[in-house]
Amino acid sequence: RHTTRFVVIGNHLTQHPELSLVAIGLACHIQSLPTGTPVDIKSLAARFKEGATRISDALRELETHGYLRRERIRTPTGHLITRTTSCNQPHHRREAATPPD
């Protein structure tokens, strides 16, 4: 029985019918990382042999299905960064509100 250094992953993710194997594996890897670990495309491509394009596609899949949120933020020095949040339970993306007629 594991008591340290393990992660619990829901079957809703591991058996998701619309996610690719790359997306599922990447989500499991991201969920196993400590908070604050870089999960940008460049860092993930340096870790895995799939390459930046496949990793980018997998991150987009996870975002589409609510397992990942990415937010562009401007730092106090003016640089744009992307804050990535991994979701243990899928969150549906909010659609832009339709302005009233």
pLDDT beyond 70 at 69: yes
- Where do the structural domains in the chain lie, given as residue ranges? 11-86
- Over residues 18-31, the mean pLDDT reads 97
Burial of 13 (C-beta count, 10 Å sphere; 0-12/13-18/19+): buried
DSSP secondary structure of 62-100? HHHTTSEEEEEEE-TTS-EEEEEEE-SS--PPPPPPPPP
Give 89's contacts (C-beta < 8 A, 6+ positions apart): 10, 12
Report yes or no: 45 and 55 within 8 Å, Cβ to Cβ.
yes
What's the rounded mean pLDDT across residues 24-46? 96
Of the ranges 41-50, 59-68, 84-93, which one carries the lowest mean pLDDT score? Answer: 84-93
Q: Determine the pLDDT at residue 93.
A: 54
Assigned CATH for 11-86: 1.10.10
